[in-house]
Amino acid sequence: MTTNLSTQIKPGTYTIDPARSSCRMIATHVFGLKPVEATMTVDRGTIMVAADPARSTASAEVAAGSFRSDKPRRDKDIGGKRFLDAGRFPVISFRSTGFADGVLTGVLNVRGQDSPVTLAVESAEPTADGCHFTATCTVDRVAAGVRSGRAIIARTVHITLDLYANC
């Protein structure tokens, strides 16, 4: 499937609007039990749209302690030392390293450890005050530094970013 990203977004640097942006994720139990859906807060970031799309860049920060699901105890566990360790590593960050054919490659930093990540940019649209992007990826949580819970949580986490950015 190819996503059409031809857009009328003007070249420039846009600031991610945390109030309108979100990071949604889905993980499953190892045995295929009920999927766990959660959100995290996108605190800040920038998207630089270049006249030559290959030169476009993006960076973002997510608050590690902002994990929210339908279970407060789970939220506390995920933000705790065994998983994200938000006390020691309060920020999960992303910085792009390349963009081509609707694919944004970059580095994800979780718990102070860098791992490669590839995002599929699903849409890019201008808005009245900037732009709106959606992107998806699958993260190998073990490669990203979250090794606890191997016996109960599947290794991959599916992430959808819904980002609004202002000029």
Evaluate whether the domain defined by 12-166 bears CATH number 1.10.3300.10: no
* pLDDT of 2 strictly over 50: no
pLDDT tens-digit series, residues 17-69: 999 999 999 998 777 678 989 999 999 999 999 999 999 999 999 999 999 99
**165 near 18, Cβ under 8 Å?**
no
> Looking at residue 1, what is its pLDDT?
39
Looking at residue 77, its pLDDT comes to: 92
Mean pLDDT of all residues belonging to the chain:
92
Q: What is the 3-state secondary structure (H, E, C) of the chain?
A: CCCCCCCCCCCEEEEECCCCCEEEEEEEECCCCCCEEEEECEEEEEEEECCCHHHCEEEEEEEHHHCECCCHHHHHHHHCCCCCCCCCCCEEEEEEEEEECCEEEEEEEECCEEEEEEEEEEEEEEECCEEEEEEEEEEECCCCCCCCCCCCEEEEEEEEEEEEEEC
Say if residue 4's pLDDT is above 50. no
Is the per-residue pLDDT at 6 higher than 60? no
pTM of the model: 0.90
Per-residue pLDDT band at 153 (split at 50, 70, 90): confident
Domain boundaries, the chain: 12-166
